[in-house]
Amino acid sequence: MIKTLFRSSLATLCLIGLPFAALAEEQGAAAERLNTLLSRANTMTAGFSQMTLSSNGANLQEASGSLVLKRPGMFRWHTVPPAEQLLVSDGEQIWLYDPDLEQVTIQKMDKRLTHTPALLLSGDVSTLEENFDITVVESGNVSEFLLTPRVNDTLFDSLRLSFLDGKINDMQLSDAVGQRTNILFHDVTVNQGVQQEQFTFDIPSGVDVISE
């Protein structure tokens, strides 16, 4: 939410033997399937647990929290203590609040899917095929997608999304140095009413404000 970890040499050899037209057709079908699954959720609430691993598998950081999403581009990710942070977007700008540092960073929303992975769950996904090479593996009630950015200027080298019974189950991002961030979602609820005020942030008095 991986090329070097999940694509076996046998699968690679099989892909090499496919004609270009067949690969393009597979790519289009995978993008359409992913677009359908993501677009079903106009709103979403969930809990999450997150783990960041180094290239050799060492555990660098663990976190957990809750999230609320609403299309287009609105989200609220709250990571609970001991490393508490709050990330809020109204679709146009993002607030990152760190209570321990007593600091708020405000920046304009980067609406490129390759730069803001949260937009895959809450933004406009009609350009998926323009931004990524996409493959899919369907197994029973599980759909797993591998997304590889088509440009070099991205925050991640590859991203894996899996769905269970049509709902997002987990996301894994991998960067250029092999560091991986795994996000596991639980108690996922979609298309229920959410309060609009959750997607704005009132800056507490006395905190430092950094605008980018």
pLDDT digits (tens, 9 = 90+) for 147-159: 999 887 787 889 9
- Of residues 22 and 112, the one with the higher pLDDT is 112
pLDDT at 129 (0 to 100) = 83
pLDDT tens digits, 181-201: 999 999 999 999 999 999 999
Instruction: Please determine, for residue 53, whether its predicted confidence score (pLDDT) is greater than 80.
Output: yes
pTM of the model: 0.81
Exposure on the CB side of residue 71, measured as CA atoms within 13 A:
16
- The total number of structural domains that make up the chain: 1
**For the domain that residue 184 is a member of, what is the CATH number?**
2.50.20.10
Distance CA(129)–CA(139), nearest Å, equals 22
CA-based radius of gyration for the chain:
18
Instruction: Please determine, for residue 17, whether its predicted confidence score (pLDDT) is greater than 60.
Output: no
pLDDT at 5 (0 to 100) = 33
Burial degree of 156 (CB within 10 A; 0-12, 13-18, 19+): buried
Q: Which of 43-47, 114-118, 140-144 has the lowest mean pLDDT?
A: 114-118
Residue bearing tokens 């599980």? 142
pLDDT at 25 (0 to 100) = 52
Instruction: Please determine, for residue 101, whether its predicted confidence score (pLDDT) is greater than 90.
Output: yes
